[in-house]
Each structure stands twice: as structure tokens, then as C-alpha cells.
Amino acid sequence: MEPVTLTTNRLLLRAVGPADTDAVYQAAQDPDIQRWTTVPSPYLPEHATGFTEQIAPEGWAQGSMFTFGVFLPGGELAAMLGLTMRSLGTAEVGFWTAKEHRGRGYVVEATLAACRWIFTEVGVDRVEWRAEVGNHASRAVAERAGFTIEGTLRSGINNKGVRRDCWIGSLLPSDLGLPSTAPYLPARS
């Protein structure tokens, strides 16, 4: 799949490339990004190069992971957001925000734009969000974006070789007023 560019009122979401390597490297020096996400720690220049020149472009080309750099109108990198295909009709969202841009709602805005895109253009019927238990900032983003928190998965993620419990939530097309590709019959309470 060819990379796409999405816009919101305040943001430009686009594929990252070699020109973004330094910005990715600088943002990923933040200890919170290294602690709560699966980026390598320490995060070295070669990690940023591999990400912008190989991992992100290959994900788009293979249709397996759609990575968006989240940029402000002036071109500054505010965040990174990825949608990884997990199974037929399901993707998982992951994100981080550059330290100086936290608390402004940028990742909520970007998540909603990316989810609308993947629901309507890729045909996904469920986007999952997962975060290690205790990552309250990520959970706040998910909740503000309309994800339903579904519970806690024991040993649900592996971060740097350590299995950890994680929260899981989901967003469905219907949560955004969009149709699904397949009928959905929720369980009765």
C-alpha cells in the first residue's frame, strides 16, 4: 500500500522517512517513551535510522503496519502513531508523544483521524489499544478517543524481554458513527 497523508484541524499525519530520523531520535531520548513503549533502550541513532528508513516504509509497503508521524503546521514532530494489522479485520494502535507536546490533545486527534481512515479505507472493524498497567497517560488518550476499556490481560505484552500485564480497549466503527464491513451482534447483558 502506498503511504497516505491525513490532516486534522491542527495536525498533519504522514509517513516518516530519512528526513525525520533526527527528530525521531531526539524525541525517543525521553525516558518515559523508553519506559512505556517498546522502543529500544537506550535509543541509539541507528535505531532511528532503521525505523525511518526500513521499518516504517516496509510496514506501508507490506500493508502490515501503517506508521504516521504526527506533525504540527510548522513541520515539528509532535508524536508518532502506528496501526499494526493483527488479524483479519483487527488492527492495534500504538503511539508516543514528544515530551514538549504532551497534554495538548494531539494524540487523541491523531488517533481519531487514523482510526477513521483505517475503518473506511482499509476495512478494519476493530482497533485495539494496549498499554502496560500503570501507563495512565496512554489510557487517558485511549479513553478520550472513545476506546472502551475491556479489562486487564495477564502477561499480555512483552516489553524489552519482560512479560507485563496490560490494559486492553477497543474502538469500533460504530463508535465513530461509521459502518462496519461485517455485521456485529453484541452479547446481551
**Per-residue model confidence as pLDDT tens digits over 16-31:** 999 999 999 999 999 9
d(CA 145, CA 129): 11
Buried b (16+ CB within 10 A) or exposed e, 149-181: eeeeeeebbeeeeeebebbbbbbbbeeeeeeee
Contacts of residue 143, Cβ cutoff 8 Å, sequence gap at least 6: 149, 169
* Domain segments of the chain as ranges: 6-176
Predicted TM-score of the model (pTM):
0.96
Q: Which three cell numbers stand for residue 10?
A: 491542527
DSSP state letter for 52: I
Q: Largest alpha-carbon pair distance within the chain?
A: 51
d(CA 189, CA 173): 21
Quick: pLDDT tens for 66-99: 999 999 999 999 999 999 999 889 999 999 999 9
Question: Looking at residue 123, what is its pLDDT?
Answer: 95
- Which residue in 94, 166, 155, 79 sits closest to 127, CA to CA? 94
Question: Looking at residue 189, what is its pLDDT?
Answer: 79
Question: Looking at residue 137, what is its pLDDT?
Answer: 97
Topology annotation, domain 6-176: Aminopeptidase (3.40.630)
Output phi, psi for 56, to 5 deg. -65, -50
Instruction: Report residues of the chain scoring pLDDT below 50.
Output: none
